[in-house]
Amino acid sequence: MKILFIHQNFPAQFLHLAADLARDPAMQVVALGLHGGAATPGVATPGVATPGVTTPGVTLRRYQLLRAAGADTHPLLAEQETHVRYAEACAACAMQLQRDGFTPDVIYAHPGWGEALFIKDVFPHARLLIYCEYYYALEGQDVGFDPSLPPLSLPERWRLRLRNSTNLLSMELADAALSPTHWQRSTYPAWAQDKISVIHDGVDSERLRFNPAARLALPLAQGAMRTFQPGDEVVSYVARHLEPMRGFQVFMRALPDLLQRRPQAHVIVAGGEAGGYGHAAPGGASWKQHMLAEVGDHIDLARVHFTGQLAPAQYLDLLSISRMHAYWSVPFVLSWSFLEAALSGLPVIASATAPVLEFAARLDVHTVPFFDAAAFADALAERCAAGPQDPRQPRHLPDTDLAQCLARQRQWLGAS
């Protein structure tokens, strides 16, 4: 059986499935990715730097965009033009694959950048499957959830409506679709949900095993270093970007109370300062700078450590060192770090938002209303006071069990 994966940053969500199929001698696995994209060596956990490697057994072809963006493109169509440029380049690379003798039986694509739009014209007899990560809404999900943020202007609303056009056309072209969680499936229109199966990517729990020898050395003032280890009173927070989409502002507002009540506690914050999914901070500052300006005089900054993005090994050490993990998110795609922290056995305090609540009860995750910084501080302080969990007990969730997820995905692909 011949399978073609398409993702501009392959392997991304296809990491485990592509590697599993590539180990099967009955499968020929090829992938298309954007030239210059960084393949990830493990699950692309937010807040974790992932240097590029290839997936063993997968033939990876890189496509290049064939033209620059137009100088006179209507501003509301800039994103659609980009998607067409991706689709065109991906189709050209696929035609070269065809000339080289590869014609897939199944194509599995992430449609978010337009890469699936023209692929059926190159391979009309292949089954096209798409990964439905998220469908944008004008209110109540990532947009319109936080009343403190400015509402969308009319052009911003129009741009968001148009952003879903690639999703919709890809869904119409696809033979079948898959979402990793029920909440993500629920963001799509009702007619589209009938086409979407729910199977998680799978979490490699073996890499999350508690490591009593874990150490994380972080810089302090005047060039000094502090090395943290299991047993220390550490609260961890991990996000791809430090921003309101992941509740960074609520977390920072909880710190004055937490650090006052827990004088030995240290807070380790992993994530990028620049960029983000949502609104920029006021005045051109980063959200880290903005929140430090608000609460910095009320916290002991010697006990709050901003690491930037961590290397994968450092991130795993942090999960073993941390006594309590904080996860906050608006209704948006659930971070893998939330599931990894909870499955590792690390106690987690999280926001009572829909993507979290899908898993919270089964993972024994304590949830608090998103905007309640005081309740957040209370929950973190109370759990820290309980002391380290010894021994730490990993959790098991069939929905995310890697072996079960891979078996279900292979069956869905027709590759079992």
Global pTM value: 0.91
The long-range contacts involving 213-222, CB below 8 angstroms and separated by at least 24 positions, are: 214/316, 214/317, 214/318, 214/320, 214/321, 215/317, 215/321, 216/268, 216/314, 216/317, 216/318, 216/321, 218/268, 218/305, 218/307, 220/302, 221/302
Alpha-carbon span 171 to 165, nearest angstrom: 10
Residues 168 and 225 in one domain: no
CA distance to 217, 301, 305, 306, per residue, from 220 (Å): 10, 10, 8, 11
In this predicted structure, the answer to whether residue 47 has a pLDDT above a threshold of 60 is: no
Alpha-carbon span 307 to 267, nearest angstrom: 11
The encoded tokens of residue 27 equal 């499968």
Residues 16 and 75 in one domain: yes
Sequence-separated (6 or more) residues with CB below 8 Å from residue 74: none
Neighbours of 125 (CB within 10 A): 8
pLDDT digits (tens, 9 = 90+) for 335-361: 999 999 999 999 999 999 999 999 999
Domain count of the fold of the chain: 2
Sequence-separated (6 or more) residues with CB below 8 Å from residue 224: none
Facing residues of 225 across strands?
A: 219
pLDDT bin (cut points 50, 70, 90) of residue 37 is low
Percent of the chain with pLDDT over 90: 83
Residues 66 and 191 in one domain: yes
Least confident stretch, 85-94, 218-227, 232-241, 309-318: 218-227
CA distance to 18, 90, 185, 254, 334, per residue, from 175 (Å): 20, 19, 16, 47, 26
Residues 21 and 128 in one domain: yes
pLDDT bin (cut points 50, 70, 90) of residue 43 is very low
pLDDT digits (tens, 9 = 90+) for 127-140: 999 999 999 998 88
The answer to whether 177 and 129 have CB atoms below 8 angstroms apart is yes
Percent of the chain with pLDDT over 70: 95
Residues 317 and 390 in one domain: yes
- The angle formed by the CA atoms of residues 80, 52 and 306, to the nearest 5 degrees, is 90
Residues 224 and 92 in one domain: no
Sequence-separated (6 or more) residues with CB below 8 Å from residue 7: 13, 14, 31, 32, 33, 109, 110, 115
The encoded tokens of residue 141 equal 């999900």
Region 192-201: mean pLDDT is 96
Residues 71 and 182 in one domain: yes
The encoded tokens of residue 342 equal 């909870």
The encoded tokens of residue 56 equal 């063993």
The domain that holds 390 is classified in CATH as 3.40.50.2000
If you count them, how many residues does the chain have?
416
Alpha-carbon span 32 to 88, nearest angstrom: 13
Residues 194 and 308 in one domain: no
pLDDT digits (tens, 9 = 90+) for 163-194: 999 999 999 999 999 999 999 999 999 999 99
pLDDT digits (tens, 9 = 90+) for 222-274: 678 999 999 999 999 999 999 999 999 999 999 999 999 999 999 999 999 98
Residues 249 and 273 in one domain: yes
Half-sphere exposure of 60 (CA within 13 A, CB side): 24
Residues 238 and 227 in one domain: yes
In this predicted structure, the answer to whether residue 40 has a pLDDT above a threshold of 80 is: no
Neighbours of 68 (CB within 10 A): 7
What range defines the domain where residue 86 resides?
A: 2-202+401-413
Residues 260 and 371 in one domain: yes
Amino acid letter, residue 188: Y
Nearest to 135 by CA among 154, 114, 159, 161: 161
pLDDT of 45? 46
Residues 185 and 300 in one domain: no
Alpha-carbon span 266 to 130, nearest angstrom: 43
